[in-house]
Structure 1
Amino acid sequence: MSGFSESWLELREPVDHRSRDLGLIRALGAHLEALDGDARVLLDLGCGTGSTCRGLSPFLPDGVEWRLFDKDPALLEAARRRLGPEGPRGARHQFLLGDAGGETPLPLDGVAVVTSSAFFDLCSAGFCARLVRELGQAGAGLYANLTYDGQMSWSIPHELDTAVVRDFNLHQRRDKGFGPALGPQAAPFLSECLKAVGYRVESASSPWRMGPQDKALQIEFLEGMRRPLEEIGTLPRTHVSAWIGFRLGVLDLAESTCEVGHTDLLALGGASA
């Protein structure tokens, strides 16, 4: 999977935390509350620096065990540094280095729910189908949040917005390390796979809404779009530069906002659960 820098993950964390659907988080917390203490085990795929753990922990019951799983040793070490072995209310943290896209089955023994943030839009249909099979065999649920849904808009429009979003979404379907990525189709695909094996699936919209207070994040987000747009190549590079230049200029002159669509998903009660 394509890597992400610690600085980018830190920059996006505040908007990630305020964007998640609280109803699904509370439902996850209630599910864990109903389990025996030793069974309250979460495996966080692509944990990065531990943002999902930090964001969810205030809503979860006492005694949760987090197994934080990532292939990037630097990010895993950052998670270890920021979280430590123990968290509030008796939470325990383990840090596991591994490749979710590799041949080895995921470490699902004893796991009640697998979690992930901004992850599945990078994954292939084959990976997602395999994960659902493994979840069913382990009797584990899934909480997947902030899966990109292909929608993007700005409070101050530009004539190239539609073409930019189209090309960005095309790039999202390219291989990100798991095979051809599902991109904006990830949440619907996951939902159908999970329902097919007996899971109860709930979903909710969780859009990023970046305002003037998120100017630094908006700048990084815009600059991060340059390479994907140029690699798709539908728009001339001069058009891409002009569009990004316009957006950066608007940030300096006006209170421009940007909304990026995401979907949160909670799946519980599979056939083997």
Structure 2
Amino acid sequence: MSGFDTRWLDLREKADHAARDAGLLEKATAHADAGGQTVSVVDLGCGTGSTIRAFLPASTRWQWHLVDNDTRLLAEAASRHNGNVHLTCIQADLSDPSLALFSQARLVTASALFDLVSASFLQRLVTSLEKPGCGLYTALNYDGHCIWEHAHEADARIVTAFNAHQRRDKGFGPALGPVAEGVLRDILQTAGFRVCVAKSPWRLGACEAELQRQFISGLATAAAETGLLDQALVEDWRSYRLDHADSACEVGHWDMFALR
């Protein structure tokens, strides 16, 4: 899995924080704080450390282990939290993380990651959460739904093609894309976890026009790469959507907290 651009991560962070389900974030916070004086939190695919910032101010009380395969992003995360958070940066292959990472964890977190992974990855991850009292909190996983204020005749076809692209291998095996929620819930429940799920959609408007432009361009490019649509149709859709990037748009996501 290749690294994400820092500009894209920064652009989406405000929308991400607004979208996270407050109730599940509160549950995860309370669980971590109940762990005593030294609480270990493992954040998979940490990027620039957005999950730390989502948990503020509680996150300053915990020991964070930030895991990513991109050393550039790890360095950026460390620099942004130098002195205000206890953290350790771990460069590792996210597709096959060491079981030792989770041996002392009170909480394992991941943001905008589990729609990119395979069922086998999720099975291995859940099997790794053997420490009594270890919880799993994941947020902002894409659910396959995009709705725009101003309709275009190709909206449904573009989203369908994009969702097909989301099922391609992203470095973890065949990606689950929009069906990841149900697969992870079933794996967790089979393993004896109690699971809470909530929707966390982006609700974008004029203030997020640049984020919309970046999202629209990426969506159109991915849809075109599938070969399912005529290129002229994709470009017409892209042009229309970019012209209306300051209007309302909703992009579906889901959050989950699980505890055994």
Query: Would you say 1:250 and 2:249 are equivalent positions?
Result: no
User: What are the residue-to-residue correspondences of 1:105-124 with 2, within 5 Å?
Assistant: 105=99, 107-124=101-118
Aligned equivalents of 2:42, 2:180: Cα separation in 1: 20
Task: Tell me the number of residue pairs that the alignment of Structure 1 and Structure 2 aligns.
Answer: 260
Query: Would you say 1:222 and 2:213 are equivalent positions?
Result: no
Match of residue 206 from structure 2: 212
Match of residue 81 from structure 1: 79
Query: Which residue identity lines up with residue 162 of structure 2 in the other structure?
Result: F
Match of residue 197 from structure 1: 191
Q: Contact (CA 8 Å) 1:33, 1:61: kept in 2 or not? A: no
How far apart are 1:57 and its partner, in Å? 2.1
Q: Contact (CA 8 Å) 1:66, 1:92: kept in 2 or not? A: yes
Superposed CA offset, 1:13-60 (max 9, x none): 10001100000111111112222111x1110000000011111122x2
User: What are the residue-to-residue correspondences of 1:87-106 with 2, within 5 Å?
Assistant: 87=84, 91-102=85-96, 104-105=98-99
How far apart are 1:93 and its partner, in Å? 1.2
Aligned equivalents of 1:106, 1:262: Cα separation in 2: 30
TM-score (normalizing by structure 2)? 0.96
Superposed CA offset, 1:132-163 (max 9, x none): 10113675210000011111110110110010
Structure 2 vs 1, CA of residues 163 and 143 (structure 1 numbering), >3 Å: closer, same or farther? same
Query: Which residue identity lines up with residue 24 of structure 1 in the other structure?
Result: L
Match of residue 170 from structure 1: 164
Match of residue 3 from structure 2: 3
Query: Greater CA deviation, 174-183 or 105-114?
Result: 105-114
Q: Contact (CA 8 Å) 1:211, 1:258: kept in 2 or not? A: yes
Match of residue 35 from structure 1: 35
- SS for the counterpart of 1:57 is coil
Query: Which residue identity lines up with residue 260 of structure 1 in the other structure?
Result: V
Aligned equivalents of 1:236, 1:106: Cα separation in 2: 48
Query: Which residue identity lines up with residue 69 of structure 2 in the other structure?
Result: K
Aligned equivalents of 2:89, 2:134: Cα separation in 1: 19
Match of residue 231 from structure 1: 225
How far apart are 1:65 and its partner, in Å? 0.9
Query: Which residue identity lines up with residue 152 of structure 1 in the other structure?
Result: C
Aligned equivalents of 1:27, 1:139: Cα separation in 2: 13
| Structure 1 segments unaligned to the other structure (5+ residues) | none
Q: Contact (CA 8 Å) 2:162, 2:222: kept in 1 or not? A: yes
Aligned equivalents of 1:146, 1:47: Cα separation in 2: 13
Superposed CA offset, 1:86-105 (max 9, x none): 32xxx411111111213743
Query: Would you say 1:266 and 2:257 are equivalent positions?
Result: yes
How far apart are 1:2 and its partner, in Å? 3.3
Match of residue 179 from structure 1: 173
TM-score (normalizing by structure 1)? 0.91
Structure 2 vs 1, CA of residues 216 and 103 (structure 1 numbering), >3 Å: closer, same or farther? closer
Match of residue 55 from structure 1: 54
Give the aligned CA root-mean-square deviation in angstroms.
1.5
Query: Which residue identity lines up with residue 10 of structure 2 in the other structure?
Result: E
Q: Contact (CA 8 Å) 1:100, 1:106: kept in 2 or not? A: no
- SS for the counterpart of 1:120 is coil
Aligned equivalents of 2:189, 2:16: Cα separation in 1: 26
Q: Contact (CA 8 Å) 1:207, 1:261: kept in 2 or not? A: yes
Q: Contact (CA 8 Å) 1:108, 1:138: kept in 2 or not? A: no
- SS for the counterpart of 1:121 is coil
Q: Contact (CA 8 Å) 1:136, 1:197: kept in 2 or not? A: no
Query: Which residue identity lines up with residue 196 of structure 2 in the other structure?
Result: E
- SS for the counterpart of 1:225 is helix
| Structure 2 segments unaligned to the other structure (5+ residues) | none
Match of residue 132 from structure 1: 126
Structure 2 vs 1, CA of residues 22 and 169 (structure 1 numbering), >3 Å: closer, same or farther? same
Superposed CA offset, 1:193-229 (max 9, x none): 1111111110100001111000110111111113211
